[in-house]
Amino acid sequence: MRRLSVFALCLLAACAAAPSAEVTKSSATDAGALTALPALTALPAGSPVATRRGNVEIVRDFLDLTFRMESGRAIPAMSRFEGPITLALTGDVPATAGADLARLMGRLRSEAGLDLRPATSGEAASITIQFLPRAQMRRVVPTAACFVVPGVQSFAEYKAARGTAAVDWGQLTRRSHVAIFIPSDTSAQEVRDCLHEEMAQAMGPLNDLYHLPDSVFNDDNFHTVLTSFDMLILRAYYAPELQSGMNEAEAAKRLPALMARLNPGGEGRGGTLKSIAPRSWVAAVEQSFGLRGGSARAAAERMVSIAMAQGWSDGRLAFSWYALGRAQITSDPAAAVRAFGEAGRIYRALPGGQVHAAHVDMQLAAIALSTGQPAQAIQFADRAIPVVTRAENAALLATLMLIKAEAYESQGLVAEAKALRLDSLGWARYGFGSDAQVRARMSEVAALGARGRKG
């Protein structure tokens, strides 16, 4: 699963000059005054919001997720683990990984009904999660933040088998051993996000669909933890009505009754069956978000053009507008605001689109702060913060709190600004990683506030 940088403060910093000596107060000063930052803090688990989409639509999504890969290649047969699934952690395991994995396993047991347990000493685990330095991973797979491979139990085995049928998902009719590779030297939040995404694909569907508004099975990466839709898909994937080796036609015959049993609230609901996005649009996404070279703005404009030509009104059109707004922050802030406004309007009308809209609000809050509109920045931040908290996105929560603190300072509310900044730091440590990264993020937001105060 690729991870696009839909959330990165470099997008915000594009609104302003880099921090310099003239920034003499605000978050940059507070960051420098702290000799030690507080301990990192993970957000508590949110209450899952039940999917509100109809079963006819969900059945089509299940088939597209299960019988196709991200490349568009067809998968001839469904594969899954049969029997209990065991897990093991190896390598340089980050301090937070064990607790986050335990929380995830608890959810997978209770919400998806999966038979999961840790592997015993000496037992060959069904899923091995190996942590290793990012540089070592990128020498082999340069664009992957984390990834999952069948048929191996270590990175050394993967390198030896790479390019052979042994690690070809399309050759599987049943899963026995799968390995997940995650950087050991990244933030706690990225470790957790990788656990959610790669565990889901290690056990379930291998595809991602850009039109899903309520799922981590979507390369836009707005959702960072498994949703109720994802748990429903995994519950269906391991239901007794289905089995390893089934082809798409066989699964399609059984899915309507299965989904009616698992999701009775989705019966009779309307919905629109969506085709998979064409490769031309996906290529434009990858260029706009930096996975390929070229102009981000030109690529985003192609995204919008293709989305409109396809007649889309779903999250893919919204994502196209979001990409265009992101690409215009520096060159044309007013146009960026219009593009973000279009994205937010569409996202707010989609079931499960609230998290996406919160990302839009973060961008709008940053622009408002950098253009001397602190009250507007606070309004955008206040609208997004409850959504982001429920979504367990500590990095985005900390950023919104820092933006709001800068807006307070611009209004002369210095004590309130300092208190809010301090409150944000535990989330920032979890979301961004090292002290240096947290301080850099605080300084970048401070630069936005300084620009706004200069007018």
Local structure of residue 296 (DSSP, 8 states): H
Q: Quick check: is 199 in a domain?
A: yes
Let me know whether 349 and 423 are in one domain.
yes
Let me know whether 336 and 385 are in one domain.
yes
Q: Are 52 and 228 in contact (CB under 8 A)?
A: no
Let me know whether 400 and 380 are in one domain.
yes
Instruction: Tell me the longest C-alpha to C-alpha distance in the chain.
Output: 67
In sign, the C-alpha dihedral spanning 292, 294, 297, 303 is negative
Q: Quick check: is 1 in a domain?
A: no
Let me know whether 244 and 366 are in one domain.
no
Q: Quick check: is 2 in a domain?
A: no
Q: Are 382 and 30 in contact (CB under 8 A)?
A: no
Let me know whether 308 and 403 are in one domain.
yes
Paired tokens of 271: 């919905």
Let me know whether 285 and 260 are in one domain.
no
The Cα 451–Cα 455 span in angstroms is 7
Let me know whether 163 and 202 are in one domain.
yes
Q: What is the pLDDT of residues 202-234, one digit of tens each?
A: 999 999 999 998 999 998 889 999 999 999 999
Residue 192: name the closest of 140, 135, 145 by CA.
Answer: 145
Q: Which of 208, 236, 266 is the last residue of a domain?
A: 266
Between strands 178-183 and 127-132, the pairing is parallel
Q: Quick check: is 4 in a domain?
A: no
Q: Quick check: is 435 in a domain?
A: yes
Let me know whether 136 and 225 are in one domain.
yes
Let me know whether 153 and 196 are in one domain.
yes
pLDDT (tens digit, 0 to 9) for every residue of the chain, 455 residues total?
Answer: 555 556 544 344 333 333 222 222 334 445 444 546 777 777 777 667 788 889 999 999 999 999 998 888 899 999 999 999 999 999 999 999 999 999 999 999 999 999 999 999 889 999 999 999 999 999 999 888 899 999 999 999 999 999 999 999 999 999 999 999 999 999 999 999 999 999 999 999 999 999 998 999 998 889 999 999 999 999 999 999 999 999 999 999 999 999 999 999 999 887 778 889 999 999 999 999 886 656 999 999 999 999 999 999 999 999 999 999 999 998 899 999 999 999 999 999 998 899 999 999 999 999 999 999 999 999 999 999 999 999 999 999 999 999 999 999 999 999 999 999 999 999 999 999 889 999 999 999 999 999 999 87
Q: Which of 245, 266, 287 is the last residue of a domain?
A: 266
Q: What is the pLDDT of residues 17-71, one digit of tens each?
A: 332 222 223 344 454 445 467 777 777 776 677 888 899 999 999 999 999 988 8
Q: Quick check: is 38 in a domain?
A: yes
Q: Quick check: is 271 in a domain?
A: no
Tell me, what CATH number does 175's domain have?
3.40.390.10
Tell me, what CATH number does 410's domain have?
1.25.40.10
**Tally of residues, the chain:** 455
Q: Which of 219, 236, 266 is the last residue of a domain?
A: 266
Identity (one letter) of the amino acid at 325?
G
Helices 354-370 and 435-454 cross at an angle (nearest 10°) of 60
Q: What burial letters (b/e) apply to 348-366, b meaning 16+ CB within 10 Å? A: eebebbbbbbbbbbbbbbb
Q: Quick check: is 207 in a domain?
A: yes
pTM over 0.85: yes
Number of domains in the chain: 2
Let me know whether 32 and 72 are in one domain.
no
Residue ranges making up the domain that contains 223: 55-266
In sign, the C-alpha dihedral spanning 152, 116, 118, 82 is negative
Let me know whether 285 and 213 are in one domain.
no
Let me know whether 296 and 237 are in one domain.
no
